[in-house]
Every structure is written in C-alpha cells, then in structure tokens.
C-alpha cells in the first residue's frame, strides 16, 4: 500500500518469512543520521522541537510487539529515506 502526504510518500508491505510475518514500512524522507538511528527506539527520544511530539511512537510500537516475541528494526542513511 502506498501512503502519500504533502511532505512525501511511503509504503507498507507484509510478507510471510518462515515462522514470522514481516511488516516493512519505507518512505522517501530525508533519512536518519547514525546517531539518531541508534536511539530511535528510546522512550522520549525525539528530533522534533519541544512540544511537537513526546518521542514515544517507536518505543510504544516496540513495547507492543515484544510480548508476542516480535522485534522492530530500523535501517536508514541520511538522504535516502527509511
């Protein structure tokens, strides 16, 4: 599925992988620097200005899938989206 917004576009795909289901989310954003990527699942970590987001989105997602044996991974490079 494709998702388009004024700021860019992204896609969401699912696939079976052995005994797991993969949900792959990608976008054409500006990407993440290595220091941001290494912290992107930390609760309250955000690159947004104060008051623009608490930095809980990815941490909440990780906390939701972990009890079911799920994992989240992120891959990105500056200038290439995620």
Taking the C-alpha atoms of 65, 69, 70 and 72 in order, what is their torsion angle to the nearest 10 degrees? 90
What are the pLDDT digits (tens) for 13-49? 999 988 888 888 888 888 888 999 999 999 999 888 8
Is residue 3 predicted with pLDDT exceeding 60?
no
Q: Per-residue pLDDT for 2 more than 70? A: no
Strand-by-strand arrangement of the 20-27 sheet: 2-5, 8-17, 20-27
Alpha helices in the chain (DSSP H): 34-37, 57-65
**Residue that wins the pLDDT comparison between 4 and 10:** 10
Strands (E), the chain: 2-5, 8-17, 20-27
**Dihedral-angle region of residue 44 (phi above 0 means left; psi in -120 to 50 means alpha; beta otherwise):** left
């Amino acid at each position: 599925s494709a998702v388009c917004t004024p700021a860019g576009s992204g896609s969401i795909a699912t696939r079976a992988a052995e005994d797991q289901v993969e949900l792959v989310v990608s976008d054409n954003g500006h990407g993440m620097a290595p220091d941001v990527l290494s912290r992107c699942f930390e609760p309250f970590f955000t690159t947004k200005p104060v008051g623009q987001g608490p930095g809980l989105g990815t941490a909440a997602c990780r906390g939701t899938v972990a009890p079911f044996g799920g994992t989240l991974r992120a891959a990105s490079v500056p200038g290439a989206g995620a």
